Amino acid sequence: MDLFSKRDPYAVWISETMLQQTQVSAVQTAYKKWMQDFPTVQALARASEDDVLLHWQGLGYYSRARNIHKTAKQVVQNGGKFPSNRQDLEALPGIGAYTAGAILSLAFHQNEAILDGNLVRVFSRLSEWDFLPTRDKAAKDSYWEEAYNWANAGDAFLTNEALMELGRTVCKKTNPLCESCPIQKICKAFQNGRATAFPPQKQTRYVSWIGFALAICDSKGNFLLQSSPQSPFLKNQLTFPIFEYADAFKNIFPGIAENVISPENVKRFAFTGTVEHSITRYKIQCRVLCVEAKSHKGLPGSWIPKQKLPQKIISSFAQKIVILTHDF
């Protein structure tokens, strides 16, 4: 493709949304599969939510996938073309300032600014800014003003992509290749030998979560999956019922599990292991309680054969639970 040719706004939107808070290596395979199965916004709008979520498997933050699906439907309802201005783009579900700027810059070749993690790192080092754009409005405005200074120089689609690539390959988070950097002469952090001191580290405070997952099966090896609206990290996903429970490590049948299955319907049960996982701000310790039910009575949800669970469950956390059901 000609370097100066305009890109498909749909493809830019999908790739940039996937890359938010996700490593490039994890996105590459998922993006190829996505574009193969949903090559146009119309194809995406026709897909079921379950199919969309399965294609998002492994990328995390599943609200992004749901917002993508909602936006696809809105775009199709409005004639199938993406808006070509920031205000209308940012009015669509899940499209924020960065994604809107990427679409306008890379697809429509407008002199619009973008600000992703790579550009934050480059700008912080250039000016030795010891603050992040998430802290307050003044900090955020400083970064966006710098981003617009670069974009307004002209051909922002080239400048923005060059800055992103510079941040990804040269101005790296660790072991930056400062000696190879084409803008080292205007970089304060390089001049002062302090590149790795910028940007400041973002402090993440994790919340400890202890509980259990209820893996209910029948005599034929089918497992019950339900949506879990009470879970803070697998909300509305089809998964095993999950409960926060301080006494999860006691080897007794938790009374709270009776919210799903009555004791009279329990044929046998066993704790089969513990899953340790981190999601957003949660550090999770989740025991797996496998239960064989006498019947399906009073157990609404989807009964899935054990061998098909990996295809039906989208989160990596729930996939670990699946593994601990194998020997039950």
Active site residue 16: yes
pLDDT at 1: 45
Six token digits for residue 292:
């064989």
The β-bridge partners of 279 are: 282
DSSP H or E segment with residue 67: helix 63-77
If one compares 172 and 202, the residue with the highest pLDDT of the two is 172
| 8 Å CB contact between 316 and 241 | no
Read off the pLDDT of each residue in 168-180 and give the average, rounded to a whole number: 96
pLDDT at 59: 86
Mean pLDDT to the nearest integer, 290-306 = 96
CB atoms within 10 A of CB 196: 13
What is the per-residue pLDDT for 4?
59
Which amino acid would we find at residue 217?
Answer: C
Spatial separation of the C-alpha atoms in residues 114 and 107, rounded to whole Å: 13
Least confident window among 22-26, 84-88, 169-173? 22-26
Selected catalytic residue, list 16, 128, 264, 276: 16
* CA 172 – CA 164 distance, rounded (Å): 11
DSSP 11: H
Higher pLDDT, 232 or 196: 196
Average pLDDT (41-63) is: 91
Query: What number is the average pLDDT over the span 152-160?
Result: 94
Tell me which residue of 83, 60, 62 sits closest to 13, measured CA to CA.
Answer: 83
Q: Which residues contact 158 (CB under 8 A, 6 or more apart)?
A: 3
Which residue matches tokens 């579900």?
93
Residues 98, 120 contacting (CB under 8 angstroms) = no
Lowest model confidence (mean pLDDT) among 11-20, 51-60, 209-218: 51-60
pLDDT at 230: 65
Tell me the CA distances in angstroms from 70 to 56, 145, 271, one per residue in order.
15, 31, 39
pLDDT at 255 over 70: yes
DSSP-derived letter for residue 94 is T
The predicted pLDDT at position 214 comes to 96
Mean pLDDT of the chain, nearest integer: 92
Strands (E), 82-221: 207-217
Q: Nearest-CA neighbor of 37 among 16, 51, 25?
A: 51
Q: Which residue has the higher pLDDT, 231 or 86?
A: 86
Tell me the percentage of the chain whose pLDDT exceeds 70.
Answer: 97
- Mean pLDDT for 226-244 is 82
Assigned token pair, 183: 């803008």
